[in-house]
């Protein structure tokens, strides 16, 4: 990745209006950093940034391109350091609902001193007084450019500052900046695996419980990565044992506390909200009151952008990117895996929402839901607005948000090699209703995708903890690293050892159960002439024989068009198999008589 290293600066030299002054513009490494001073602006003032190839004056600024608006006053201050921007005082129920939140920051903890943002690699914070905006130029915004900042209050202009001289602007690129000189250097992680870690609801604060800053990098978003350009996101990058951890924070600054009429979850009555690792309403900084509701997947695009940066800047292996998450983070892991199957080698999702629906758990004999809790669609209402079944939310392209977030539909694409998903669930989960889960389980099996899940009769906080050791080993990093985008793997379906997940009623089916438990394998050959793999299945208490269909996913060289007839040798016995209409190669009813490995070989 080639980054522009030039730097140009320009200053305001007299274009000053009451309330704003000393506008400065610096182009560096693909972005323009604008700073200015503010004085005595009204509390309700909001700022906008304008750009043009011509000088911008107080009289004609509206003719210039609007680059960003709805900036708060004092935007140079690093709001990530103020815990009140993230957390409200949580009830005991909220705490129990957030076992995967990660950060232990709480409102009322010691705050750090006021500091400005860092705008250079390893640099010192700028002054927290005044304003900051970071502009990522588009192709038509290069060359000599003028900028201006305008403040409005009550619809009237109350401040203006413009550049008297232009700044030379080169190609735009949105890249992270290191917050210290000790951060990982360019090319320092060449060929390493990348693990993306997603926290649960309530996490993602910029400080820990002792008020210490969290994060190694900051990135100022371009216009496609946030509701406005320049929104700063902090995250952590570390490296150990040839694996790079990318620990993200699902918080986006909206600059206001939403009204109770706009949201249903009090945890979002803060200025930096969670997005369930998906996205939010483009108008979130103004209002979520509708009547139309749109949700854009800003957060997903931001995550993929950071992954590309890690691959190009740090040098991580593009074939070895993994995503881990629990609760809200597990939800994000499923979404990312099914929306971007070409990016992720595998995913681990503990107690996730697989599909956002309006379903509630079926009623028991007393006429009440057997496990009370959240309707899963309510989770995304917090960032999209209070849409309803009759007035649904849509994506920017008009597609129903409910369809985009329907995991059962997303994974039911047999022709696509979905990343293997390893998951856990609890039937007594009041946060993530059980009623949604069976549809996803069954869709994954019907599409012959790789899916491993264990469930029990525990709640949200305990379902994963009480999984057996062999299932916990399944989501270990060592196991995950066997999956790669450039390596084949088997997907198991219709296994005779699978338990009954029921129909969504928490009382029906096997109370404790699993799908595809205990399978192991080793690919022996994947050439144009031959494919061979060693398969086995074993775990404490298993009863043989076990049968399962085996679909060979991500084949690298052993590829043939639909309808091709092949010869499979299974444990010494030959049979004919045919590539189906989706391009899948499946050997049905493979029988495992005991724990000994079984060799499967296929030739044309």
Q: Which domains does the chain have, with CATH numbers?
A: 7-78+115-173 (2.60.40), 518-604 (2.60.40)
pLDDT above 90 (res 424): yes
pLDDT at 5: 41
Question: Which secondary-structure segment (H or E) carries 597?
Answer: none
If DSSP codes are grouped into helix, strand and coil, which group holds residue 330? helix
- Least confident segment among 74-88, 290-304, 527-541: 74-88
pLDDT at 14: 42
Distance, CA of 25 to CA of 47 (rounded, Å): 16
Q: Which DSSP letter does residue 313 get?
A: I
Mean pLDDT, rounded, of the chain? 92
pTM of the model: 0.95
Query: 334 pLDDT band (50/70/90 cuts)?
Result: very high
Tokens 């990565």 correspond to what residue? 225
Query: 367 pLDDT band (50/70/90 cuts)?
Result: low
If DSSP codes are grouped into helix, strand and coil, which group holds residue 32? strand
pLDDT at 133: 98
Query: 97 pLDDT band (50/70/90 cuts)?
Result: low
pLDDT above 60 (res 17): no
Q: What are phi and psi of 313, to 5 degrees?
A: -90, -55
- The residues pairing with 427 across neighbouring beta strands, listed in sequence order, are none
pLDDT above 60 (res 588): yes
- Least confident segment among 84-98, 350-364, 413-427, 449-463: 84-98
Distance, CA of 393 to CA of 166 (rounded, Å): 43
Q: For residue 86, give the nearest of 332, 302, 253, 287 by alpha carbon.
A: 253
Q: Are 586 and 551 contacting, i.e. CB atoms less than 8 angstroms apart? A: yes
Q: What are phi and psi of 232, to 5 degrees?
A: -90, 135
Query: What tokens does 274 get?
Result: 């969670």
Distance, CA of 70 to CA of 72 (rounded, Å): 6
pLDDT above 90 (res 421): yes
Query: 433 pLDDT band (50/70/90 cuts)?
Result: confident
Query: 6 pLDDT band (50/70/90 cuts)?
Result: very low
pLDDT at 373: 66
Range 170-195 average pLDDT: 95
CA distances from 155 to 150, 151, 158, 221 (A): 12, 10, 9, 27
Which carries the bigger pLDDT value, residue 227 or residue 260? 227
* Percent of the chain with pLDDT strictly greater than 90: 81
pLDDT at 263: 84
pLDDT at 264: 78
Q: Are 422 and 444 contacting, i.e. CB atoms less than 8 angstroms apart? A: no
- Least confident segment among 88-102, 279-293, 464-478: 88-102
Q: What are phi and psi of 188, to 5 degrees?
A: -80, -10
pLDDT tens across 546-583, in order?
999 999 999 999 999 999 999 999 988 999 999 999 99
pLDDT at 360: 86
Angle at 599 between CA 487 and CA 480, to 5 degrees: 35
pLDDT above 60 (res 94): yes
Distance, CA of 214 to CA of 206 (rounded, Å): 5
pLDDT at 110: 57
Q: Tell me the CB-side half-sphere exposure of residue 249, using CA atoms within 13 A.
A: 28
pLDDT tens across 186-214, in order?
999 999 999 999 999 888 989 887 778 88
pLDDT above 50 (res 107): yes
């Amino acid at each position: 990745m080639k980054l522009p290293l030039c730097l140009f600066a320009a200053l305001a030299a007299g274009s000053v209006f009451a309330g704003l002054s000393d506008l400065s513009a610096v182009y560096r490494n693909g972005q323009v950093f604008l700073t200015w001073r503010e004085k005595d602006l009204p509390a309700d003032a909001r700022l906008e940034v304008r750009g043009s190839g011509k000088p911008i004056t107080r009289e004609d600024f509206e003719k210039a391109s609007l680059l960003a608006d709805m900036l708060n006053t004092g935007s140079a201050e690093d709001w990530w350091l103020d815990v009140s921007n993230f957390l409200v005082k949580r009830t005991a129920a909220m705490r129990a609902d957030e076992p995967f939140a990660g950060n232990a920051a709480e409102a009322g903890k010691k705050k750090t001193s006021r500091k400005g943002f860092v705008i250079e690699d390893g640099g010192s914070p700028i002054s927290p007084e005044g304003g900051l905006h970071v502009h990522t130029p588009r192709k038509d915004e290069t060359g000599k450019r003028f900028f201006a900042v305008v403040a409005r209050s009550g619809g009237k202009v109350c401040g203006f500052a413009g550049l008297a001289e232009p700044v030379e602007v080169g190609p735009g690129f949105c890249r992270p900046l290191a917050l210290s000189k000790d951060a990982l250097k360019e090319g320092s992680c060449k060929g390493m695996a990348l693990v993306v870690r997603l926290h649960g609801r309530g996490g993602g604060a910029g400080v820990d419980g002792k008020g210490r800053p969290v994060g190694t990098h900051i990135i100022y978003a371009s216009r496609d990565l946030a509701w406005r350009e320049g929104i700063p996101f902090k995250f952590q990058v570390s490296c150990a044992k040839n694996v790079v951890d990318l620990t993200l924070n699902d918080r986006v600054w909206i600059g206001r506390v939403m009204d109770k009429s706009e949201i249903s979850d009090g945890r979002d009555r803060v200025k930096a909200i969670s997005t369930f690792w998906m996205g939010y309403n483009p108008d979130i900084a103004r209002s979520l009151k509708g009547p139309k509701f749109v949700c854009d997947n800003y957060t997903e695009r931001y995550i993929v952008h950071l992954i590309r940066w890690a691959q190009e800047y740090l040098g991580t292996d593009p074939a070895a990117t993994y995503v881990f998450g629990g609760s809200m983070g597990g939800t994000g892991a499923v979404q990312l895996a099914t929306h971007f199957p070409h990016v992720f080698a595998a995913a681990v999702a503990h107690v996730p929402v697989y599909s956002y629906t309006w379903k509630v758990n079926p009623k028991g004999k007393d006429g009440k839901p057997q496990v009370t809790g959240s309707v899963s669609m309510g989770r995304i209402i917090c960032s999209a607005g209070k849409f309803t079944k009759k007035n649904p939310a849509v994506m920017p392209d008009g597609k129903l948000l409910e369809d985009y977030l329907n995991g059962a539909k997303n994974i039911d694409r047999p022709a696509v090699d979905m990343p293997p998903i390893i998951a856990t669930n609890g039937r007594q989960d009041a946060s993530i209703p059980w009623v949604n889960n069976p549809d996803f389980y069954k869709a994954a099996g019907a599409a012959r995708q790789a899916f491993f899940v264990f469930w029990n009769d525990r709640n949200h906080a305990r379902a994963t903890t009480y999984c057996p050791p062999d299932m916990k080993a399944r989501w270990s990093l060592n196991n995950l690293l066997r999956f790669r985008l450039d390596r084949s793997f088997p997907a198991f379906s219709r296994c005779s050892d699978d338990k009954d997940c029921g129909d969504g009623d928490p009382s029906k089916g096997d109370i404790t159960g699993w799908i595809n438990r205990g399978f192991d394998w080793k690919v022996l050959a994947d050439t144009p002439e031959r494919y061979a793999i060693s398969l086995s299945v074993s775990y404490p208490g298993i009863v043989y024989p076990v049968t399962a269909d085996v679909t060979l996913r991500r084949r690298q060289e052993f590829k043939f068009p639909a309808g091709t007839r092949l010869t499979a040798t299974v444990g010494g016995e030959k049979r004919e198999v045919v590539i189906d209409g989706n391009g899948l190669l499946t050997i049905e009813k493979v029988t495992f008589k005991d724990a000994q490995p079984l060799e499967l070989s296929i030739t044309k």
